[in-house]
Amino acid sequence: MTQRYRTLRVAPSDEGVLSVVIDAPPLNLIGPELVRDLVGLLGTLESDQVTRVMVLESADPDYFVPHVDLTKVAEYTAEAAKADGPDDASLGMLWHKLSELPVVTIAKIRGRARGAGSELALACDMRFAARENAILGQIEVGAGTTPGAGGVQHLARLLGRGRAMEAILGADDFNGEQAERYGWVNRALPDAELDAFVARLARRIAFFPAEAVRSAKRAINELTLPGADAIRADARRFQQLVRSDAAKGRTAALFAQGLQTRGPLELHLGDRIGAPDTGAPE
């Protein structure tokens, strides 16, 4: 794998495991550069005959991926369109492409994975979180829109109706233990044990016959993966609502308090998005 990336650190191993580290300071926001790199990576992995397992993590211990860059929605959407054309120009369809890769994908979560960052992790085949510091959340309803990149589809399947309602409509943060209990992640492990656990699992899967692993993944996807039309519908809802006056008002209030900067708002966004000074309920 010789492609160069600006926001990803990519390192293959001799055992068929590819390490992908998101490194897009200052916050690992999903913007055009990160989406461009992910489009390139997924395109490479579609035909990669060497990589059996990809492990996705963050270089930032505080932020896995906190959410999209709300100042660059049009720009990152245009980059996402390069994966499958303008008819499928959405993060949801790009994340769906990730889910359908023949490579097994594992998200290793430290720090905050909210909004489309949570949806990126949900698009992976498995998720493992650090018990002490992982935070997951679907904050979109609190900002005046809805999850638009697969969060509704995945969480309804993983959590069940009631808990998905709580997670999405409540727009609050879930720590690693809560996320494990609800089924948002496979397991929450002590931070000191997370790397070794994921590395062992990745090597173990990569050791097994490739066609057996790929066939099993395809079968599970057929039973559990949301269809492309459902993902497209969620993307349309997000795109419509994110341009509404209600969403613009609430995001403006959040920007005034420090959104998209390394400060207390982003650290505690699940709590702050429900505070009265964020804006009147719509």
Q: Which residues are catalytic?
A: 119, 140
Angle (CA) 79 81 86, round 5°: 140
Distance CA 80, CA 90 (A): 6
Q: How many other C-beta atoms can be found within 10 angstroms of the C-beta atom of residue 165?
A: 13
Strand locations in 119-239, DSSP E? 126-130, 135-137, 174-175, 187-189
- Amino acid identity of residue 264, one-letter, is P
145 phi-psi bin (left φ>0, alpha ψ -120 to 50, beta other): beta
Which 3 state secondary structure label does DSSP give 30?
Answer: strand
Distance CA 145, CA 81 (A): 21
Distance CA 207, CA 202 (A): 9
Q: How many other C-beta atoms can be found within 10 angstroms of the C-beta atom of residue 199?
A: 17
Buried b (16+ CB within 10 A) or exposed e, 17-28: bbbbbbebeebb
Q: Edge to edge, what strands does the sheet with 174-175 contain?
A: 63-65, 112-114, 135-137, 174-175
Structure tokens at 226: 């949301």
Which 3 state secondary structure label does DSSP give 171?
Answer: coil
